[in-house]
Structure 1
């Protein structure tokens, strides 16, 4: 098949803009030796075949996003367009920001006014969970001038500023304060989202409550970079909200130029990894709200063999309170498949999950296709494997409704079944 030849486009600084499509065919590009060398250094992103010394055929692999590569005359902006619109993509990333790889080097893009509303709901939910047990405080060293001693006196400053005067005093003390990088980041993201005109009333009210709870936290100056933070035991409950806050600020870091291009942070993501993480976390959260308990995305607590050498890797195991004693036990197992056609191997895999976890219901979720159910005899009983679909082509607001509907179906199947296989 002949590859389509593409006319070159350039960014305002002269960098070549190469646009490929997720799952697309070959396209032909005129490249300089320096640009060829740049792309060859990133062979994990695309396939390359030469036609002539200066004409090359290119085809995307299995990542999507946009990133700036190389330097000088070899600079290339590579954009691999996903099959889903960018607002849908960011909605998925908002549930799994750890699956995206960001690059601070700016890439040119088209303005999209609907990106931030797609992030607002997930950010509000994560921030509410982060602050469930109160706003995080930490000790910060503060220099101040006070009429009484607090902490320690800075004698050098006292003598230089007020020689022979006993008060006020130049002191340094440790203040237990909410004004820490983590809270500044949450506040900056909340204020940025409040400037979005088409937020839902519920999201706007939740953001206003979040801002009020962060009283005493300083606002970031205009144009200031996001504060640095690292995950640790102290801030572990902020672990989901902080990456989302950074995502909000990245998605709003636009520099309007000639009205046709904007500059945003680069981002690359494997769609299959993103789909799996999104389904696990979104469905897990919906089940937690619906039936209580605890979702465990990518649960690795079960093994297929007695010697515990073969780890089972379901995308989601949800633990729900037992109706008999209230103890949390595995109640739902789910696996996401970023493919269009079901395979027999998927059924074999889910059968192993159900048997090992002692469940009579298993759930496979595909990106497209027709839902159905397969009954599998096991001993004197049988288990049912449900095959669901979540259509990523739907608007992101409809995706939220689809996840809630899926959680309802899973709960209904769980309640109607015997629940657990006989030991």
Structure 2
């Protein structure tokens, strides 16, 4: 089925209906009866804004879901490349004509990036260890020694740093390689590469399914791993389809929330363009402001760009919110009005992926003036070079729309 497509009719068992009717699955699709009869096994499904493929349930309740993105796979990979928490790779990381499916494309990109990262050898690092030994190594854990063996000289409770390849970076690569190897759609050549990677990572502990993804920090030492690690995070986080403890639903696959992908892409790409045009600094998902005095309702605009004020300190000057939808709805205008009011700004910008852009703003009278709400469109079907040019043009438009000096922040969390 297609992302945000039409209703499609399927024949399902009652166990499959139960699998697809859980609250968690309903976050990615809608389900309703297609027939009127009590024994009619036809059901209609409609995907929401999540793409990918996933196997749900077991036995008679097993379901294989495939949700194709509205945009071409090479465009989707381009969006992921700009997101700050996602991968950075070339504009044409895969042969889109051959790998038109999402999983084979991501598997190929990861296999190539990981193979290149590991070609010079495995990274190693120091990890803290605690052990019991007959000889002193590192430092003595005096409290543990006294608690466990009061009055005894040996054995010793010690702590030391061990130089090992079992570090978060290698754990991420191993976990992603094993996750992709289990997927049916991965091409045989890429599957062979993934198995070689698994062998190269011998001695590394794979992440436990369902556990938090290993955390890592970009540095000079792991720079050659960066592209592969960003991809690994996509693979492992996208595969984490969470369920309540004990619920009898098995999950295997990869899902990407397109709303989050677009928000990440717009914040990074547009924020970087604004920095080039007007200076300052941007922040994605700024969590410094609240709607109310009691700070119970946090505001989370997708992009806040700050510029120096009269004192030289940075203050919010541009606010942008991404809408992965066709046009801007009335509730979106109300939301942006709240953002502008609480951030003390006279202009707000809403960016959707479709709709009509006429260049005019919704003017909202307020005491002492007016707040202008602009509506923009970024067409994700544009080729990468044209999409980059569109983002740059949007940055110039937003910069030109600024008519006021940023005022002091209101209801700030700082």
Q: TM-score range by the shorter chain?
A: 0.5 to 0.7
- Determine whether 1:359 maps to 2:345: yes
| Cα pair 1:22 1:61 within 8 Å, conserved | yes
**From 327, 335, 341, the counterpart of 1:341:** 327
Gaps spanning 5+ residues in structure 1: where? Answer: 1-19, 99-108, 128-134, 143-148, 153-171, 190-218, 252-264
Gaps spanning 5+ residues in structure 2: where? Answer: 87-99, 118-122, 131-135, 140-157, 176-196, 220-225, 238-251, 410-414
Match of 1:381? 369
**From 36, 59, 66, the counterpart of 1:79:** 66
Aligned mates of 2:373, 2:67 — CA distance in 1: 35
- The 3 A distance-change label for structure 1 pair 226 and 138 is closer
- The 3 A distance-change label for structure 1 pair 369 and 118 is farther
- The 3 A distance-change label for structure 1 pair 180 and 281 is farther
| Cα pair 1:185 1:246 within 8 Å, conserved | no
- The 3 A distance-change label for structure 1 pair 283 and 373 is same
- The 3 A distance-change label for structure 1 pair 220 and 56 is closer
TM-score, normalised via structure 2 length = 0.59
- The 3 A distance-change label for structure 1 pair 310 and 288 is same
- The 3 A distance-change label for structure 1 pair 249 and 364 is closer
Give the CA deviation at 1:137: 5.6
| Cα pair 1:285 1:295 within 8 Å, conserved | yes
- The 3 A distance-change label for structure 1 pair 139 and 382 is same
Match of 2:378? 390
- The 3 A distance-change label for structure 1 pair 23 and 401 is same
Give the CA deviation at 1:151: 5.3
Match of 1:312? 299
Match of 2:30? 46
The count of corresponding residues between Structure 1 and Structure 2 is 318
Give the RMSD, CA atoms, in angstroms.
4.8
Match of 2:393? 405
Match of 2:230? 244
- The 3 A distance-change label for structure 1 pair 303 and 40 is closer
TM-score, normalised via structure 1 length = 0.58
Aligned mates of 1:289, 1:388 — CA distance in 2: 20
**From 291, 313, 324, the counterpart of 1:327:** 313
- Determine whether 1:22 maps to 2:3: yes
1:294-314 deviation line (CA, Å, top 9, x unaligned)? 433222322334444443332
Aligned mates of 1:242, 1:91 — CA distance in 2: 15
1:283-328 deviation line (CA, Å, top 9, x unaligned)? 2344345555443322232233444444333222122333x44312
Give the CA deviation at 1:59: 1.7
Aligned mates of 1:403, 1:180 — CA distance in 2: 41
Give the CA deviation at 1:333: 0.7
Secondary structure of 1:331's aligned partner: strand
| Cα pair 1:139 1:176 within 8 Å, conserved | yes
Give the CA deviation at 1:79: 1.2
Aligned mates of 1:117, 1:138 — CA distance in 2: 31
Aligned mates of 2:321, 2:352 — CA distance in 1: 9
Q: How does 1:1-400 map to 2 (within 5 A)?
A: 20-41=1-22, 42-44=25-27, 45-49=29-33, 51=35, 53=39, 55-62=41-48, 63-94=50-81, 95=83, 110=101, 115=106, 138-139=126-127, 179=165, 181-184=167-170, 221-222=199-200, 227-228=206-207, 235=216, 244-247=230-233, 266-288=253-275, 290-322=277-309, 324-371=310-357, 372-374=359-361, 375-400=363-388
Secondary structure of 2:300's aligned partner: coil
Aligned mates of 1:390, 1:118 — CA distance in 2: 26
Secondary structure of 1:326's aligned partner: coil
**From 394, 406, 414, the counterpart of 1:420:** 406
1:114-149 deviation line (CA, Å, top 9, x unaligned)? 6579899xx9xxx9xxxxxxx99644669xxxxxx9
Aligned mates of 1:419, 1:29 — CA distance in 2: 57
Aligned mates of 1:380, 1:38 — CA distance in 2: 56
63-72 or 31-40: which moved more?
31-40
